[in-house]
Amino acid sequence: MTEATALADALTREHHEIDTGVEAYIASLDGAADPAPLQAAMHALRRHIYLEERFLFPPLRAGGMMMAIMVMLKEHGQLWRTMDELDAALAAGEDVTALRERCQGMLALLSNHNTKEEPVVYPRADSDLSDEQREQLAQFLADGTFPDGWVCEKAAA
């Protein structure tokens, strides 16, 4: 990995890890359903959304990516609400068929979002952020946590 793509690659890798967690949960629905991979994936997705909205999007928006960032924020809200619905469905003991459909819907939302974000937004993390901004983002990627109770900007929209 070159330094010029380090952040884009790390952010993309997180996308794949989140997808893998949801897929692992779907696979577990054919036997003794284990919610742990889904819960871990949703926690990782919430953290990932936080790092984008806190560290990545503000400087990119200020640098002229207003429309692209607005789309990403709107989609974050949709993903957040879907995660809240999944949390409620798990807590209510929803049947396997409904849970599978909800998770497949989540994967479709993620795919739609990621296919725009990875080629359009992520390369700008490596090229447009200042050294300090790249360092903050890299540090958060390495070991950052998001505040309890934090919700994304468009969660209620």
pLDDT in tens, the chain (157 residues): 445 469 999 999 999 999 999 999 999 988 878 899 999 999 999 999 999 999 999 999 999 999 999 999 999 999 999 999 999 999 999 999 999 999 999 999 999 999 999 999 999 998 999 999 999 999 999 999 999 999 999 998 6
Q: Which of left, alpha, beta for 149 (phi over 0: left; psi -120 to 50: alpha)?
A: left
SS3 155: coil
Tally of CB atoms within 10 A around 31: 7
Q: Which domains does the chain have, with CATH numbers?
A: 3-143 (1.20.120.520)
Tally of CB atoms within 10 A around 133: 17
Q: Which of left, alpha, beta for 61 (phi over 0: left; psi -120 to 50: alpha)?
A: alpha
Q: Which amino acid is at 107?
A: L
Query: pTM for the full model?
Result: 0.94
Long-range contacts of 109-116 (CB under 8 A, 24+ apart): 109/75, 109/78, 109/79, 109/82, 110/15, 110/18, 110/19, 110/22, 110/45, 110/79, 111/19, 112/75, 113/72, 113/75, 113/76, 113/79, 114/12, 114/15, 116/68, 116/71, 116/72
